[in-house]
Amino acid sequence: MTDIRILLVDDEPDIREIVDVSLGLDREFTTRACASGADALVTAAEWSPSLILLDVMMPLMDGPTTLANLRKNPRTAHIPIVFLTARTQSSEIEHFISLGAQGVLSKPFNPMTLATSVRGYLPPSVTHHVP
């Protein structure tokens, strides 16, 4: 079976748990969660996820800063990033995309379809992997 690794970064433990269950509805997903941007930098470099779901408003290191730092490290620079955010004005979405994010998903999200939405942002090389 394909192993599609999704790294979730969110400072809210409840949201981490719900996203974990939601993504678990897709049998091919393996999810890990980080509570801060700083943790995410370490875990992303070690674990090489297929995609990172990134909260925007976090204390200390916010989502856009985390993205910038991930892009600086050659080991994490290529990983697709999707923001998961409570701010979804269209101008803000454009701003996030201009920072280099693959997409933006809004909170609150539909937990039954979150995994499908995330799949849409995976590069073909990941989804069409031959075991």
Task: List interacting residues with another protein (CB under 8 A).
Answer: 12, 14-15, 18-19, 21-22, 25, 57, 86-87, 89-91, 107-112
Least Cβ distance, residue 115 to another protein (angstroms): 11
**Phi (first) and psi of residue 101, to 5 degrees:** -80, 150
Least Cβ distance, residue 128 to another protein (angstroms): 27
Least Cβ distance, residue 119 to another protein (angstroms): 17
Cβ-contact 34, 58 below 8 angstroms: no
The residue (of 18 and 38) whose beta carbon lies closer to another protein is 18
DSSP characters over 79-118: S-EEEEES---HHHHHHHHHTT-SEEEESS--TTTHHHHH
